[in-house]
């Protein structure tokens, strides 16, 4: 059986990408969750994952003796090994668009990723997060609108049915929710559709039950809603 190595569900956005894909498509896998240490470069955490991946980051996939790392490479490996599943759209134009935006996500949007780390545990209010974040948000919502308009007629996702591209953007939808980022109506409906999937819901529930706090991912700003009230946290409360 496939083995997927991930970290904290509340915080590990890259882990969510292949995880939601495998879950959504009903592909059986064993989950190995190795909680982060106090920092991302914690030596004990690095040691714990080093047997699974030479890159020292999660996610990683073990398919028998084959090791795959990098979220997009894992998704491609799964797509290669399961040609019976429509993991990428079948129409060539849709497929090309899907691959391009998945790669754009994998390589980019660092302003948004740095300023608004995924944290499913809290919800913050809207605020000006600077021009670089605004540019990332504008590009992401443009991608979502274009995909929905050109290819999305068959369902609520970017290409109608849920595909690898939706898996790549799933953690981004969480950032829109956590940080109240501005979303036009098409983007807001898309965010809601991703977050309503049983796979996303089950990730979120598990995330909220986690006992771990990751200080470097807790934004230092007022909290509108705390979804993990059982954890005692001192920072960022209004």
Ligand X SMILES: N[C@@H](CCC(=O)N[C@@H](CS)C(=O)NCC(=O)O)C(=O)O
Q: Is 163 in the site for ligand X (CB under 6 A)?
A: no
- Smallest gap from residue 120 Cβ to ligand X (A): 13
For ligand X, the closer of residues 74 and 147 by Cβ is 74
User: Least distance in Å: CB of 237 to ligand X?
Assistant: 25
Residue 60 Cβ, how far from ligand X at the closest point, in Å? Answer: 8
Phi-psi label, residue 180: left if phi above 0, alpha if psi -120 to 50, beta otherwise: left
- Using CB under 6 A as the binding rule, the residues of this chain from 26 to 55 that contact ligand X are 40-41
CB of 72 to ligand X, least distance (A): 6
Which residues partner with 66 through β-bridges?
Answer: 63
Give the range of 56-64, 127-135, 142-150, 228-236 binding ligand X by CB under 6 A: 56-64
Question: Which residue's entry shows tokens 């879950």?
Answer: 23
Asked whether position 7 contacts ligand X by CB under 6 A, the answer is yes
Q: Does 70 bind ligand X (CB under 6 A)?
A: yes
Does the footprint of ligand X cover residue 157 (CB under 6 A)? no
Nearer to ligand X, 19 or 122 (CB): 19
Integer Cα distance of 193 and 157 in angstroms: 7
Distance of closest approach, residue 200 Cβ to ligand X, in angstroms: 16
- Candidates 70-78, 92-100, 139-147, 203-211 — which segment interacts with ligand X by CB under 6 A? 70-78
Tokens matching residue 8: 């904290």
Residues that bind ligand X (CB under 6 A): 7, 12-15, 40-41, 56-59, 70-72, 106
């Amino acid at each position: 059986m496939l083995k997927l190595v991930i970290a904290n569900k509340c915080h590990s956005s890259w882990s969510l990408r292949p995880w939601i894909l495998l879950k959504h498509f009903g592909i059986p896998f064993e989950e190995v969750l190795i909680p982060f240490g106090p920092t991302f470069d914690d030596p004990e955490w690095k040691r714990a994952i080093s047997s699974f991946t030479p890159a020292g980051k999660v996610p990683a996939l073990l398919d028998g003796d084959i090791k795959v790392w990098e979220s997009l490479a894992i998704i491609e490996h799964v797509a290669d090994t399961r040609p019976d599943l429509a993991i990428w759209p079948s129409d060539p134009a849709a497929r090309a668009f899907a691959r391009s935006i998945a790669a754009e996500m994998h390589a980019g949007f660092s302003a948004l990723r740095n300023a608004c780390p995924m944290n499913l545990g809290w919800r913050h209010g809207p605020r000006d997060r600077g021009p670089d974040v605004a540019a990332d948000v504008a590009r992401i919502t443009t991608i979502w609108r274009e995909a929905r308009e050109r290819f999305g007629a068959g369902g609520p996702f970017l290409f109608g049915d849920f595909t690898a591209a939706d898996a790549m953007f799933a953690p981004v939808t969480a950032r829109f929710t956590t940080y109240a980022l501005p979303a036009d109506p098409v983007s807001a409906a898309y965010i809601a559709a991703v977050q309503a999937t049983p796979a996303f819901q089950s990730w979120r529930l598990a995330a909220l039950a986690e006992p771990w706090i990751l200080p470097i991912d807790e934004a230092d700003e007022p909290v509108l809603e705390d979804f993990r009230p059982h954890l005692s946290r001192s920072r960022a409360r209004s």
